[in-house]
Amino acid sequence: MIVLDTQSVRAASGVPAPTTGRNAAKKVSGRKRGLATNVLGLVIAVVVAAASIHDNAIGNALLDRVATATAPGGVQTALVDQGFKNSVVAHGATHGIDVKIVERNPAEAGFIPQPKRWVVEQTYGTMSLHRRLVRDYEHEPASSESRVYWAMTDVMTRRLTGTSIPTWRFPREAM
C-alpha cells in the first residue's frame, strides 16, 4: 500500500520563472512536490513540478514512477486525498493499482488527520527538518527531487542507527 499527496512550497528568488507557477488555492508561488510513500513513511517516488500543475497530473506521474520502481504486482492499493480526481483512479487501474480516494467526514470541522493517509503528512513534516527543503532553492525540478531523496536517506540512516537529529534548542555540550 502507498499513500500519495502533494505539497506546495515557495520558490527562492533565484529559481527560474519557467519552472515555477502559482497554486491559486493555497496562494503559493513556487513548486509543487508530489510524494508516494509506503505505510512506514519512506519515499517510493517524488515528482516536482510548477505549483500551477493540477494534482491529477502529478498523481498520474507518481503512479507511473511507482509502477516502474516496484516489482509487477508489488503495489496494489494507493490512498489519495480529495484533491485527486477520477482520472488518477483510472490511470492507477491501467497499472493494476486500486486508487482509493479517502474522503473526510463533512460533519467534522477543521483539520482532522485521516487514518493511514496521515503518514505522508508526517513525511512532509520530517522533510521540513532539512533546511534545504523548507523552500525550493534548486534551479531544476530534478535537483529538487534529488534533495528529497537525500533527505530521506538521512532519515532512514538515523532510523537504522537510532540516532536523533541534533537540535538548535540545546547547546552542543549537552549532547
* Residue 22's CATH number: 3.30.420.10
Residue 164 lies in a domain: no
Q: How far is the C-alpha of 111 from the C-alpha of 84, rounded, in Å?
A: 18
Instruction: Give domain status of residue 9, yes or no.
Output: yes
Confidence of residue 170 (pLDDT cuts 50, 70, 90): low
pLDDT of the residue at 173: 61
Furthest-apart CA atoms within the chain: distance in Å: 56
Total domains in the chain come to 1
**Cα separations in angstroms, 102 against 50, 87, 115, 116:** 25, 15, 9, 10
Print burial letters for 137-152: b (CB count within 10 Å at least 16), e (below 16): bbeebeebbebbeebb
Higher-pLDDT residue of 163 and 145 is 145
- % of the chain residues with pLDDT over 70: 92
pLDDT at 171: 61
In a domain? residue 163: no
Strands (E), 13-156: 21-23, 28-38, 43-50, 77-80, 98-101
With respect to residue 119, please indicate whether it lies within any of the assigned structural domains.
yes
Please tell me the predicted confidence (pLDDT) of residue 168. 60
d(CA 170, CA 141): 35
- CB neighbours of 75 closer than 8 A, spacing ≥ 6? 1, 2, 44, 66, 67, 97
> Residue 174 has what pLDDT?
53
Domain that holds residue 75: 2-104+115-156
Higher per-residue confidence, 165 vs 62: 62
What is the structure's pLDDT at 136? 86
151, pLDDT greater than 80: yes
**115 pLDDT more than 90:** no
Instruction: Please give the average per-residue pLDDT across 63-69, as a whole number.
Output: 90
Is residue 169 in some structural domain?
no
Residue 126 lies in a domain: yes
